[in-house]
C-alpha cells in the first residue's frame, strides 16, 4: 500500500518544494520509502508501505524507454501476469506487483487493465509521448483525486496532496455541500473543493499536451439469471475461498477485522482455512451498551482459535483528540460517525500487523441493509393516503426519544418521513441524514441541490442494491475504511470485492439476496453449519457510535466549542439560527439529531483544519 501524487507543468518548471510537500502530506500512507521522478513536463511522487518484496520495489519504477509508474494498492494475480510477461520478453528486477503492472501497461496498454485483479490507483508517465495516464480500480477501493487547471493536471491519493500546490483554490463546492448533508458523503465526480474531482471507479484518465480524455475499462451490469440455490452456494464458496486465499498473500504480519457479524465472520472462516499459522483477529466492543457485539466476535474467535485482540470504545478514551485527528486524515469531511470506531480499530490493529482483511462490500452485493426492507414496506405504506401517514408521523414525534444508537422511535420516524418521499429520495434519506426541509433551513436556500435527481428510480430491490454499489460503497464505506486505516499506515483488504465475486452477485436473482424479511439470504445459506448459530441468526448491527447519547454528554463540550455562532456565521455556509435550533432541540431531548450534528461538526473541523472558505 502506498500513496501517490504528481502534476504536469507544460509551460514552466515548478518549485521543487511543491512535490516534496505533496509527498509529505500523505507520508502516513507510506512511511517506509519515499521517491520522486522529475522531468521537463511532469513531477511524480510515491510514498511506500512495504507489503511485498521488502528489499526491492522502491518507487517510482522506471522501464526502458522512459515509462514510469507510481502505484498504490495490491494486484493479487501479479505472479501469473509476470509469468506471461516474461514469456513475452519482459525482464523483471524485483518481486513486487508494481513492476508487473508497469510491464502490463507497456505490452497491453488499456487492454491490460482488465487483466489486473486487485485494488489500485496508479499513474503512468511516458516520456517519449509526453503522456500521463491515471487509473483507478473497478470498485473504487483505492482513491484518486484529480484537478485540471489550465493546461496542467494535478493528482493525488488524497485531496491534501493536491492542496499542497499553492495555486489550487480552497473554496467549498456548494452543490457538494448540499449532497453531503443529504447523503453523508459526496457522490463522484464532485468533492467538497471546487475544481477538484474524484476519478470514478473502473475508469482511466489520459493527459497529453494539455488535453484530457477519460474512459471506462469496467462497468458492472446487474443482469439476474436463473440458477439453482445449491449451484449458487457452491459457486460462492469457490469464489470466496479463492479470493481470501489471494488476499492473504503478504510478506508482513496479517490479521482479520472481526465484528461478530456475518460478513467479517465469513472472512475469518475462509482465512482460518488457508492461513498457515494462528490467525490474529481484531474487534471493538461497546461494553454495557445494547449494541455491544463482544459475545458474537468472541464466539467466532474461539471457534477458529484465533489470537484475539479487542478494544472497548467508551468516553474514557480521548474521543475529542481522535475526532480532531479524523478531521485531518479524512480529506473531505466524514459524516459517517462509524469513522470513529474504525479509527480506533485501525490504531489497535497496527500495533500487531500491517495488513488486515475486512468484510466490507458484502452488504452492497448480497442485500444486507434494512433499507432494502424499508424500500419494500414503503411501497405498501404508500397505498395509505398521505394525510394518514402525516398524522402517524406527528404521533410518532410524541414518543420519548431514546439514547440508543438507533432506537425504535428513531427508525419509526425516519421510515414514516421517507414514506412521504419518492422512492429514490426515500432510500437515500434512510441511508443519509438531512431531509430537504432541514437543508433549506441549514443552508438558507429555497431550492438546495437534490442528489436524488442525479439517478434513475430503481424499480426493484436489486435496483436499490445497484444504487448503493455505485454510490454508498465507494463514497462512504470504502472512503471511510481507506482514510481511517491509512492514517495508521495499515493496509485493509476487502475479499468480498474481488471483481469476480461482484460480477457473480450482480447475476443473482433478487430473492437470493432479500427473501421475505431475511437479508443476505444466499450468504447465510452458504455459512449455515459453518459459523456459530447465533452469529447466523442475528440481524444487521452497524459499526457505529451512540451519537445521540454522546452529544448530550461526553461530546457536548466539543460540539459547543466548535459550532459557535461566530464560526458558523464566518463560514458563510450555514444559517446560525438553524444550527442553534438543531443543537438545542437535541440537548433538550425534543428529537434525536446526533448523526446530523456529527456531520456538521466534522464539516467545521475540516474547514478549520484545511483553511477552506466559501466563495463570496
* Residues 194 and 253 reside in one and the same domain: no
What is d(CA 139, CA 215) in angstroms, rounded to the nearest whole number? 15
* Residues 212 and 236 reside in one and the same domain: no
Decide if 533 is inside a domain: yes
What is d(CA 55, CA 175) in angstroms, rounded to the nearest whole number? 47
pLDDT score at 369:
95
Decide if 431 is inside a domain: no
Last residue of a domain, one of 503, 537, 571: 537
User: Three-state secondary structure along 129-156?
Assistant: CCEEEEEECCCCCCCCEEEEECCEEEEE
- Residues 539-559 have a mean pLDDT of 92
* Residues 174 and 64 reside in one and the same domain: yes
pLDDT score at 616:
75
Decide if 497 is inside a domain: yes
pLDDT score at 44:
98
Last residue of a domain, one of 537, 561, 577: 537
Residue 135 sits at the vertex; the CA angle it makes with 129 and 141, to the nearest 5 degrees, is 165
The three grid cell numbers given for residue 347, joined into one nine-digit string = 490504531
Cβ count within 10 A of residue 475: 23
pLDDT band at 8 (very low <50, low <70, confident <90, very high): very high
pLDDT band at 460 (very low <50, low <70, confident <90, very high): confident
End-to-end CA distance of the chain: 40
* Residues 241 and 198 reside in one and the same domain: no
pLDDT score at 405:
81
Alpha-carbon 365 to chain mean position:
15
pLDDT at 326 over 90: yes
Strand arrangement of the beta sheet that strand 118-126 belongs to: 61-63, 67-75, 118-126, 131-136, 203-208, 211-216
- Residues 197-214 have a mean pLDDT of 97
| Residue where the block lists cell 477501493 | 141
- Contact present, 26 and 160 (Cβ < 8 Å): yes
Decide if 568 is inside a domain: no
- Residues 568-573 have a mean pLDDT of 97
pLDDT band at 481 (very low <50, low <70, confident <90, very high): very high
| Residue where the block lists cell 498473500 | 249
Residue 432 sits at the vertex; the CA angle it makes with 431 and 434, to the nearest 5 degrees, is 145
* Residues 472 and 503 reside in one and the same domain: yes
131-147 tens-digit pLDDT: 999 999 999 999 999 99
pLDDT band at 399 (very low <50, low <70, confident <90, very high): very high
pLDDT band at 288 (very low <50, low <70, confident <90, very high): confident
* Residues 63 and 177 reside in one and the same domain: yes
CA atoms within 13 A on the CB side of 72: 37
pLDDT score at 97:
95
What is d(CA 125, CA 207) in angstroms, rounded to the nearest whole number? 10
Number of domain units in the chain: 2
Cβ count within 10 A of residue 212: 14
Which helix (DSSP H) or strand (DSSP E) does residue 48 occupy?
Answer: strand 42-48
What is d(CA 371, CA 361) in angstroms, rounded to the nearest whole number? 16
pLDDT band at 407 (very low <50, low <70, confident <90, very high): confident
Decide if 262 is inside a domain: yes
Q: 324: closest CA among 608, 569, 22?
A: 608
Alpha-carbon 268 to chain mean position:
21
Decide if 430 is inside a domain: no
Q: In 444-575, which residue ranges form alpha helices assigned H by DSSP?
A: 461-470, 472, 479-486, 499-506, 521-527, 533-537, 547-550, 556-562, 565-571
pLDDT at 394 over 90: yes
The neighbouring-strand residues paired with 124 are 69, 133
Percentages helix, strand, coil for the chain (3-state, rounded to 5) are 45, 15, 35
pLDDT at 320 over 90: yes
pLDDT score at 458:
79
- Longest distance between any two alpha carbons in the chain, whole Å: 74
* Residues 92 and 173 reside in one and the same domain: yes
Residue-range definition of the domain harbouring residue 86: 2-216
Do β-strands 118-126 and 131-136 pair in parallel, antiparallel, or remain unpaired? antiparallel
What is d(CA 196, CA 176) in angstroms, rounded to the nearest whole number? 11
Decide if 24 is inside a domain: yes
Helix axes 229-247, 262-274, angle to 10 degrees: 60
Query: What percentage of the chain reaches a pLDDT higher than 90?
Result: 91
pLDDT at 459 over 80: no
What is d(CA 301, CA 296) in angstroms, rounded to the nearest whole number? 9
61-110 tens-digit pLDDT: 999 889 999 999 999 999 999 999 999 999 999 999 999 999 999 999 99
Burial letters 448-466, b for 16+ CB under 10 A, else e: bbebbeebeebeebbbbbb
What is d(CA 205, CA 133) in angstroms, rounded to the nearest whole number? 6
* Residues 162 and 31 reside in one and the same domain: yes
The three grid cell numbers given for residue 56, joined into one nine-digit string = 526491492
Strands (DSSP E) contained in 402-559 are 491-493, 514-515, 518-519
* Residues 50 and 13 reside in one and the same domain: yes
572 three-state secondary structure: coil
Last residue of a domain, one of 216, 250, 268: 216
- Contact present, 125 and 109 (Cβ < 8 Å): no
pLDDT score at 426:
94
162-203 tens-digit pLDDT: 999 999 999 999 999 999 999 999 999 999 999 999 999 999
What is d(CA 413, CA 168) in angstroms, rounded to the nearest whole number? 43
pLDDT at 573 over 80: yes
The DSSP code for 334 is -
113-123 tens-digit pLDDT: 999 999 999 99
- Contact present, 613 and 567 (Cβ < 8 Å): no
Average pLDDT, the chain: 95
What is d(CA 33, CA 56) in angstroms, rounded to the nearest whole number? 11
* Residues 279 and 173 reside in one and the same domain: no
Q: 583: closest CA among 571, 570, 598, 572?
A: 598
Decide if 608 is inside a domain: no
486-497 tens-digit pLDDT: 999 999 999 999
- Residues 344-351 have a mean pLDDT of 98
Domain of residue 257, CATH code: 3.40.50.620
Q: Which of 50-54, 227-231, 403-407 has the lowest mean pLDDT?
A: 403-407
* Residues 169 and 114 reside in one and the same domain: yes
Q: 327: closest CA among 593, 491, 558, 145?
A: 558
The three grid cell numbers given for residue 275, joined into one nine-digit string = 492461513
Domain of residue 84, CATH code: 3.60.20.10
Alpha-carbon 315 to chain mean position:
25
* Residues 350 and 478 reside in one and the same domain: yes
Which helix (DSSP H) or strand (DSSP E) does residue 344 occupy?
Answer: helix 339-350
pLDDT at 544 over 90: no
Q: Read off the pTM.
A: 0.96
- Contact present, 115 and 81 (Cβ < 8 Å): yes
Amino acid at each position: 500500500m502506498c500513496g501517490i501524487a504528481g502534476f504536469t507543468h507544460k509551460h514552466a518548471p515548478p518549485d521543487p518544494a511543491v512535490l516534496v510537500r505533496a509527498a509529505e502530506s500523505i507520508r502516513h500512507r507510506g512511511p517506509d520509502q519515499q521517491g520522486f521522478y522529475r522531468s521537463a513536463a511532469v513531477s511524480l511522487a510515491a510514498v511506500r508501505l512495504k507489503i511485498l518484496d521488502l528489499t526491492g520495489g522502491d518507487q517510482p519504477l522506471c522501464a526502458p524507454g522512459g515509462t514510469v509508474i507510481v502505484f498504490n494498492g495490491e494486484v493479487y494475480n501479479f505472479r501469473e501476469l509476470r509469468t506471461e510477461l516474461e514469456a513475452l520478453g519482459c525482464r523483471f528486477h524485483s518481486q513486487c506487483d508494481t513492476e508487473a503492472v508497469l510491464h502490463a501497461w507497456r505490452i497491453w496498454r488499456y487492454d491490460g487493465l482488465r487483466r489486473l485483479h486487485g485494488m489500485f490507483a496508479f499513474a503512468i508517465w511516458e516520456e517519449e509521448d509526453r503522456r500521463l495516464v491515471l487509473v483507478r480500480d473497478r470498485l473504487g477501493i483505492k482513491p484518486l483525486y484529480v484537478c485540471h487547471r489550465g493546461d496542467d493536471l494535478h493528482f493525488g491519493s488524497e485531496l491534501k496532496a493536491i492542496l499542497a500546490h499553492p495555486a489550487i483554490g480552497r473554496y467549498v463546492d456548494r452543490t457538494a455541500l448540499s449532497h453531503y448533508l443529504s447523503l453523508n458523503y459526496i457522490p463522484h465526480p464532485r468533492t467538497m473543493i471546487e475544481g477538484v474531482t474524484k476519478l470514478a471507479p473502473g475508469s482511466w484518465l489520459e493527459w497529453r499536451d494539455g488535453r484530457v480524455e477519460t474512459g471506462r475499462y469496467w462497468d458492472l451490469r446487474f443482469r439476474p439469471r436463473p440458477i439453482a440455490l445449491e449451484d449458487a452456494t457452491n459457486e460462492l464458496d469457490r469464489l470466496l475461498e479463492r479470493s481470501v486465499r489471494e488476499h492473504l498473500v503478504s510478506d508482513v504480519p496479517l490479521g482479520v477485522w472481526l465484528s461478530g457479524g456475518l460478513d467479517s465472520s465469513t472472512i475469518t472462516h475462509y482465512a482460518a482455512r488457508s492461513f498457515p499459522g494462528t490467525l490474529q483477529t481484531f474487534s471493538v466492543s461497546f461494553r454495557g451498551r445494547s449494541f455491544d457485539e463482544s459475545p458474537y466476535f468472541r464466539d467466532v474467535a474461539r471457534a477458529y482459535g484465533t489470537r484475539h485482540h479487542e478494544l472497548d470504545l467508551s468516553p474514557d478514551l480521548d474521543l475529542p483528540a481522535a475526532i480532531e485527528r479524523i478531521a485531518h486524515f479524512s480529506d473531505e469531511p466524514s459524516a459517517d460517525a462509524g469513522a470513529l470506531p474504525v479509527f480506533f480499530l485501525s490504531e489497535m490493529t497496527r500495533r500487531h500487523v500491517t495488513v488486515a482483511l475486512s468484510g466490507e462490500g458484502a452488504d452492497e452485493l448480497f442485500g444486507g441493509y434494512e433499507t432494502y426492507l424499508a424500500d419494500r414496506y414503503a411501497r405498501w405504506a404508500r397505498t395509505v393516503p398521505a394525510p394518514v401517514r402525516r398524522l402517524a408521523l406527528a404521533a410518532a414525534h410524541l414518543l420519548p426519544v431514546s439514547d440508543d444508537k438507533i432506537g425504535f422511535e428513531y427508525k419509526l420516524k425516519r421510515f414514516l418521513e421517507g414514506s412521504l418521499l419518492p422512492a429514490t429520495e426515500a432510500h437515500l434519506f434512510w441511508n443519509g441524514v438531512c431531509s430537504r426541509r432541514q437543508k433549506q433551513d441549514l443552508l438558507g436556500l429555497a431550492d438546495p441541490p437534490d442528489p436524488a435527481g442525479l439517478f434513475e428510480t430503481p424499480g426493484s430491490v436489486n435496483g436499490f442494491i445497484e444504487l448503493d454499489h455505485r454510490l454508498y460503497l465507494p463514497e462512504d464505506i470504502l472512503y471511510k475504511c481507506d482514510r481511517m486505516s491509512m492514517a495508521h499506515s495499515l493496509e485493509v483488504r476487502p475479499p468480498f470485492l474481488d471483481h469476480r465475486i461482484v460480477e457473480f452477485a450482480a447475476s443473482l436473482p433478487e430473492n437470493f439476496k432479500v427473501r421475505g424479511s431475511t437479508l443476505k439470504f444466499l450468504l447465510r445459506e452458504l455459512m449455515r453449519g459453518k459459523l456459530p448459530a447465533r452469529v447466523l441468526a442475528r440481524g444487521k448491527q452497524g459499526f457505529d457510535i451512540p451519537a445521540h447519547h454522546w452529544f448530550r454528554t461526553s461530546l457536548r463540550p466539543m460540539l459547543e466549542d466548535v459550532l459557535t455562532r461566530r464560526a458558523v456565521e464566518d463560514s458563510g455556509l450555514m444559517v446560525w439560527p438553524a444550527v442553534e435550533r438543531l443543537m438545542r432541540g437535541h440537548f433538550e431531548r425534543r428529537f434525536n439529531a446526533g448523526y446530523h450534528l456529527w456531520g456538521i461538526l466534522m464539516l467545521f473541523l475540516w474547514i478549520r483544519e484545511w483553511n477552506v472558505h466559501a466563495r463570496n
